[in-house]
Structure 1
Amino acid sequence: MTEVDVTSAALEPGSFRDPDSRVFRTHGRILRLLSERGLADWRAFSASPLFAELVREGKLVGTREAGDVSALPGLHDGVAGVLEHDVVPFVSYPYEWSFGMLRDAALLQLELVRRAVEAGLQLKDSSPYNVQFRGARPVFVDVGSFEPLREGEPWAGYRQFCMLFLYPLLLEAWKGVPFQPWLRGSIDGISPQELRNVLSFRDRLRRGALTHVVLHARLERRYEERDTDLKRELKAAGFR
């Protein structure tokens, strides 16, 4: 493994959501800082045949362990390992994509979820910001999303998939409303209630709408009301 030169290194602001796996750039290289947990997840994933298969198929960015963590003094507390990614020549964002690009990225995400489960793994999230394009082909770039499968748990990325993939696609496909301005204005995407509000009664009867939009919005609203009631009860009991 090569030494990592971190002079003028810059953490990627977009990787703040996962403290176990932070990305930074230095001298044209793309590196990822891993916590102890992140390193364990990476080694479980990289030891799986799925990792090599996805890289070979061009569906996952090439990644390898790089350097000695002692070469990273003071850059990030708790660094247990460092990965280096192949550089994707051109970086784009979901709010810049066409309908077809977002659809292809969504299909890749679902394929990875299915194949990960078959390999005893799972994806902890589901964001189009984890996808880039090489030419017209989507490539998944966040190896930190993979972790060992926990039996019996629902897919944690389902809500995020709906808000950032499914709902923007439905908005444009069913209502003719471009999704790009919405995604540009909201990093979290379109909420179930927001999409429900723009769908007609007929739209709500379309295949998948009842489960993934209407019921999703109803459940979310119910939990929001429960959270409000809990806060009110705690306040009445003297908790501030």
Structure 2
Amino acid sequence: MKTHDPVTQLDFNAIDWSPHSFEDPGGRLFWKDDRVFRALRGESAEAFCRLEDAGLLDEMPQWNVVKTWRSDLQIDGYDLVVEHEKLPPSPLVSEWSPAMLRDAALLFCDLTERLAGQDLQLQDSHGWNMMFDNATLRYIDFSSIIPLADGEPWKPLNEFLNCFLHPLQLIDAHAAEYAFFLLGRDNWVPLEATIPRWTSLQFEWTRRRKQRECAKLFAINDRGGPDAAIELARSLKRKIEKCSLPRPQTRWSDYAGSFPKSGADPQADWNEKQRSVAKILNSLSGGTVLDVGCNTGWYSILAAQLGLKTISMDTDRTCIDALYRYTREHQLAITPVVGSFFSPAIAHGPRFYDPLEKRFQADHTLMLALAHHLFFKQGYEVSTIVEVAASVTRKTLVLEHVPSDDYWIEQWNVPHRQADYAIEVWREALQRFFTNIESYPSERSHESSDVQRTILVATR
């Protein structure tokens, strides 16, 4: 066994425990001095010591496990305390895209196989134990790692089916929103939810067929031990890889299809809006960017290419899925999120997580081609839109104003609201929270119109 430095004793009642870390008997998460720690005991502490003695802790980040090391802290009732690398804010499972969910399932299978080789296992199998570090997935819960003895069944098989395989089968059946709704509300998707509602006879026949498929997995699990866990992980991985991820056509999925290629330097085929936003982003003194209503992320990609860490948010799951795939492929500092500060969906089941506006804040916020939809289509007042945007913005708000005589707004036929929407109203609302407001030219509203949009840049 390795020797360790003297410990610093902590008072249990004075610790800033995570309100979401209370279910695992093997450990609890807490913060101290803006650092992240986890107290471990019992089987979880034993498993950590095995990994430490085997010299695997330094290797585990290559397995997509958060970097973790033993700390010098001690708490009564726990065997040891470890420290984790602090990760940026991450979306919840219900805020993922289909490709994000599949990557999480595949990571779980890979980790199961690696840990079984050390006679260890994960006792939980759900996405709540994973976080996205930009587009890189990290497993974070060391209290879930416990020993796996010969002949012992692999604990999380049923949970894996409900939290990963069944949702992905629903997505494969073109029911992604239903799958994520169930994950958000209940934290799982039961087998019955994956069966189309045909006649009662067809439903029952399909249910029994799927139950027989699951029974084969449970028969492997009944053998128990590391070898059975490895066989299960490989079998489940094959099933996950067979699930297709349809990309349904949505109202906004092709919105940016004709945009020119993004890049750190303006290109000859960029329009005036793209040049203005590039100029604004270049003027920012580093920090983080929150792109609200990002679509497929043209401006998010631009911000990341300019060295700004970016959170990209949109309610269109197809758009976020496309952005996630691009971000993953090009290794950009972008965290994709399915959601909106203005139309929040169910963010969790029985777990009490903070709302979006508390979890995702940034130095600079982009709201491009969005405010007019919030005002005319969703009925938000200018003051409310600005107040919400200001609440998540530490320094700079970049908001595009689309005038009421814009080609598209005229198609909506809402003249009764136009007086409350004038650019002067927006400036007045912004002045409540920001000290300086500048204007930049944006694009024309339509090729048949000379109406010019305006980008307002408000700084604190």
C-alpha distance in 2 between matches for 1:177 and 1:198: 16
- Separation in 2 of the partners of 1:132 and 1:119? 24
Match of 1:212 in 2: 214
CA distance in 2, matches of 1:103, 1:91: 16
The separation in 2 between residues aligned to 1:42 and 1:23, in whole angstroms, is 15
Partner of 2:109 in structure 1? 110
8 A contact 1:95–1:183 mirrored in 2: yes
Corresponding residue for 2:21?
15
Tell me, yes or no, if the aligned pair for 2:122 and 2:145 is still in contact at 8 Å: yes
Which segment is superposed worse, 89-98 or 107-116?
Answer: 89-98
- The 2-side partners of 1:66 and 1:60 are apart by 17
Matching residue within 28, 42, 53 for 2:34: 28
Residue equivalent to 2:44: 38
Partner of 1:24, secondary structure, is strand
C-alpha change, 1:40 and 1:123, in structure 2 (3 Å) is: same
Residue 198 and residue 53 in structure 1: after superposition, are their counterparts in 2 closer, same or farther (change >3 A)? farther
- Whether 1:67 aligns to 2:72 is yes
Structure 2 counterpart of 1:10, one-letter code: D
Q: Is the 8 A contact 2:148 2:154 kept in 1?
A: no
Show CA shifts across 1:115-146 (max 9, x none).
11122222212121111111211111112222
Q: Which has the higher contact order (CA 8 A, sep 6+)?
A: 1
Q: Any residues of structure 2 matched to 1:104-143 within 5 Å, and which?
A: 104-143=103-142
The 2-side partners of 1:163 and 1:4 are apart by 40
CA contact (8 A) 1:54 1:60 kept: yes
Aligned residues: 207
For the residue of structure 1 that corresponds to 2:58, the secondary structure is helix
Structure 1 CA distance for aligned equivalents of residues 64 and 115 of structure 2:
13
Q: Classify the secondary structure of the residue corresponding to 1:78.
A: coil
TM-score (ref. length: structure 1)? 0.74
CA shift at 1:111, angstroms? Answer: 0.3
Cα pair distance change 1:58/1:37, threshold 3 Å:
closer
Name which of 51, 60, 64 aligns with 1:54. 60
Partner of 2:144: 145
Distance change (3 Å), C-alpha of 1:92 and 1:104:
same
Summarize the alignment of residues 215-226 of structure 1 with structure 2, pairs less than 5 Å apart. Answer: none
The Cα offsets for residues 119-178 of structure 1, whole Å up to 9 and x where unpaired, read as 222221212111111121111111222222211122111111111111111111114242
Question: What is aligned with 2:386?
Answer: none
Aligned ranges for residues 81-230 of structure 1 at < 5 Å?
Answer: 81-178=80-177, 179-187=179-187, 189-196=188-195, 201=202, 204=206, 210-212=212-214
Which stretches in structure 2 are left out of the alignment for 5+ residues? Answer: 219-460
The Cα shift of 1:54 comes to 2.1
Higher Cα radius of gyration: 2
Aligned letter for 2:213? T
The answer to whether the 8 Å contact 1:204/1:210 transfers is no
1:64–1:193 CA distance, 2 compared to 1 (3 A): same
The answer on whether the counterparts of 1:196 and 1:213 sit within 8 Å (CA) in structure 2 is no
One-letter amino acid of the counterpart of residue 130, structure 2: V
More helix, by proportion: 1
CA RMSD of aligned residues (A): 3.2
Structure 1: distance between partners of 2:152 and 2:215: 21
Secondary structure at 1:91's aligned position in 2?
Answer: coil
Deviations 1:181-211 (A, max 9, x none): 2111113x11223434658959949x97751
- Mapped partners of 1:156, 1:80: distance in 2: 23
**Residues 3/92 of structure 1: CA separation in 2 closer, same or farther (3 Å cut):** farther
SS at match of 1:89: coil
- SS for the counterpart of 1:112 is helix
Q: 1:5 to 1:79 in 2, by over 3 A?
A: closer
Residue 29 of structure 2 aligns with an amino acid whose one-letter code is: V
Q: Give the 3 Å change call, closer, same or farther, for CA 78–171 of structure 1 in structure 2.
A: same
Secondary structure, counterpart of 1:14 in structure 2: coil
* SS of match in other structure, 1:22: strand
SS at 2:29 equivalent: strand
Q: Percent identity?
A: 28
Structure 1: which 5+ runs fail to align? 217-240
3-state DSSP of counterpart to 1:211: helix
Structure 1 or 2: larger strand share?
2
Q: Write the distance in 2 (CA, Å) between the matches of 1:82 and 1:9.
A: 13
